[in-house]
Amino acid sequence: MAGHHHHIDPGAGDKRVFGAIAVNFALTLVQIIGGLLSGSLALIADAIHNLSDALALVIAFVARKIARQPANAQMTYGYGRAEVVAALINYTTLILLGVYLGYEAVLRFFNPQGVDGWLVIVIAAFALVVDLVTALLTFRLSKQSMNIRAAFLHNVADALGSVAVIVAGTLILLYDWQLIDPLVTLMIAGYILWQSLTEIGPVIRILMLGSPPDLDTKVVLAGVESLPGIDSVHHLHLWQMQEHQNALDAHIVLEPEQWQRADAIKGEVKNLLAERFAIRHSTLELECSRHVCENPAIIGHGTIGHSTRGEH
């Protein structure tokens, strides 16, 4: 299965993200004031979610800056995973937010409050416009980075929340149906939880050093073993250094009498990994068939020590 490599301009989009942060903080203030004046829990829920949008964008913005720092003696892999950590923080806060809003909505079912429908509609409509502007600012960047995608999905959920709040305000005006307010809040909470639990998996996978989701480890292994001069492969590790950078290390056992071709075989393996699987960071230990590891694990590292005779 072929991998995909993305070329991303490190400095692209900072002004867009900063602009999205500014409008979302302003919107949050307007929504909270409007929610308190109108008595609408749904509007306050939308405001709290919008505040989380703004904070998510702040975290994403800072993480983008940190991720560009070069590798050093303390962080030999660089700071690229700062964006992955930021995505984890954002999805975790979304999950907590969804649980909190669900709890508040359930309480409101048992203790309904009067809601000013017109004020709710006006502020929610204003919020929807801001949500759409923010989505336009971050949509293109969200395709390239799970960090920005986490912030973008915060915003999408908030836009849907604004639509739901407008519907709720309209029903309150037309039918004085006060229970629609906590019902809409519960729907917003449910969507937030569904969205976050779906997206957090790939983030955790990277932090747990899981293999890239678009690569089959066994296919990669078979591809390397199919090259001429290679007897077998073991102690194979395949992971993502960061979202768009795949990495592999492995022990390559050469067939008898192939040691003189060791450098050429290593080059062939690296070319295969880069061209077929988009793995451009690979560390290979070559082993002569007469000095191979004892009882090695094919994938992962076994507990038995291996020969120190090898070439890097």
* Mean pLDDT across 44-51: 73
Q: How many Å separate Cα 111 from the centre of its chain? A: 38
Specify the DSSP element, H or E, that contains 254. Answer: strand 245-254
Q: Considering only CA atoms, which of 147, 168, 133, 141 is closest in space to residue 39? A: 168
Question: Is the predicted pLDDT of residue 133 greater than 60, yes or no?
Answer: yes
The residue type at 55 = L
Confidence at residue 78, expressed as pLDDT on a 0 to 100 scale:
86
Q: Region 85-110: what's the mean pLDDT?
A: 85
What pLDDT sits at residue 1?
32
More confident residue, 181 or 218: 218
Residue 63 has pLDDT above 70, yes or no: yes
Confidence bin at 6 (pLDDT 50/70/90) = very low
Cβ neighbours of residue 253 closer than 8 Å, sequence gap 6 or more: 230, 231, 232, 233, 234, 287, 288, 289, 292
**Domains in the chain: ranges and CATH:** 14-207 (1.20.1510.10), 217-291 (3.30.70.1350)
Structure pTM? 0.73
Of 246, 199, 251, 186, the residue nearest 225 (C-alpha): 251
| Dihedral sign computed on CA atoms, order 107, 111, 117, 120 | negative
Higher pLDDT, 230 or 293: 230
Contact (CB, 8 A) for 225 and 128: no
Q: What span, in angstroms and rounded, lies between the C-alpha atoms of 84 and 89? A: 9
Are the C-beta atoms of 281 and 246 separated by less than 8 Å?
A: yes
Supply the mean pLDDT for the chain: 80
